[in-house]
Amino acid sequence: MPGVRWVGGFEGGSGGYVYIPPTSAARSRRMHTHDIVELRVQLAMAEHDGLCGPVRFHPEEQSALTVGMTPLRPDARVQIQLGDNLRDCFIEVDEGSEWGQKIPAKLRAYTAAHQQWTGGRFPAVVFVVPDSTRARYIQRKINDHGGADLFRLTQLDDAAQFLTT
């Protein structure tokens, strides 16, 4: 399929194919969903390989919440046991398709939620990006916004290692 990037496996793995079960109602591939699932698989493999303890992965439908008056709809919420510590993160999988005020609006929403949070430590917000060009763009937006201690950034290929170390 044109436009599908190589993921996982020996020497690139997928060979550019995206499989949809015959019983699926999906009419087209959604690379955003594909990348969220890829992250989940990477984390399951890290847990299986003993790089971390149990991983709780809550997709968008289960991780949406409202903090005070601020609605948040992260792509996922990930909680990873690392020894005696629990790493708790909101995940924003970025496909490089959001420009203009979309990213600053997300940054403002997370900052507002952080200020209103009463449930212990606020989860880190991790932007998972496809490549270094997009990483630089998102980092500029974070720098312009401020609050760099709240936001993290990693590329999809490095995300599992980033989240488990």
Write down the pLDDT at residue 156.
92
pTM: 0.80
For 33-54, what is the mean pLDDT? 92
State residue 38 phi and psi, 5-degree precision.
Answer: -60, -45
The length of the chain in residues reads 165
Q: What is the pLDDT of residues 77-132, one digit of tens each?
A: 999 999 999 999 999 998 776 667 889 999 999 999 999 999 889 999 999 999 99
**Quick one: DSSP state of residue 103?**
H
Q: Which residues, in sequence order, are bridge partners of residue 13?
A: 7
For residue 35, give every residue at least 6 positions away whose Cβ sits within 8 Å of its Cβ, in sequence order, or none: 93, 95, 128, 130, 156
Q: What is the pLDDT of residues 56-80, one digit of tens each?
A: 999 988 999 999 999 999 999 999 9
According to the CATH classification, is domain 30-164 in 3.40.1350? yes
* Domain locations along the chain: 30-164
* Residue at token pair 């709809």: 73
